Each structure stands twice: as structure tokens, then as C-alpha cells.
Amino acid sequence: MRSKSVIYFLLGLYTALVSWHIYHSVILLIIHWIFWPLALIYFLITGHLAHGQWLSIPKGYFN
């Protein structure tokens, strides 16, 4: 059960990183953190994570 909560947390954190990269807004970051499943689906549908962006966005924070 603990592994599911870690995955849930990491996906929420990933969504927050993508949100900050796209919008640079604290309010939207908090909203996307709370409703991360919907936000992640939105980012996928709108193409924000297309063409390798899904990997390059988090890498930009850790380089």
C-alpha cells in the first residue's frame, strides 16, 4: 500500500513541475497539485508533454 502512495506523490510532484514550467504561477501550481490527475490528463491532451517534453521538463530542474 505504501508504494502506491509514493507513486501518487511522485505523479503529483511531476504535474507540479510541468505546471510551473508552463505557467510560472503559484496559484496554478497549487491547483494543479491538488487536482493533479485532471491536470496531467489536460497536459497530455493539449500536447504539452509531446515530442519528448515529458522527459526534458523534469530534467531541466535537475541540471
pTM as predicted: 0.85
**Choice between 42 and 4, residue whose per-residue pLDDT is larger:** 42
Domain boundaries, the chain: 2-62
Band of residue 60 on the pLDDT scale cut at 50, 70, 90: confident
Nearest of 12, 16, 34, 36 to residue 25 by alpha carbon: 16
Count CA within 13 A, CB hemisphere, residue 38. Answer: 6
Chain segment 5-45, per-residue pLDDT in tens: 999 999 999 999 999 999 999 999 999 999 999 999 999 99
Asked if 16 and 29 count as a contact pair (C-beta separation under 8 A), the reply is yes
Taking the C-alpha atoms of residue 38 and residue 12, their distance in angstroms, rounded to an integer, is 11
**Choice between 45 and 60, residue whose per-residue pLDDT is larger:** 45
pLDDT of 1 reads: 64
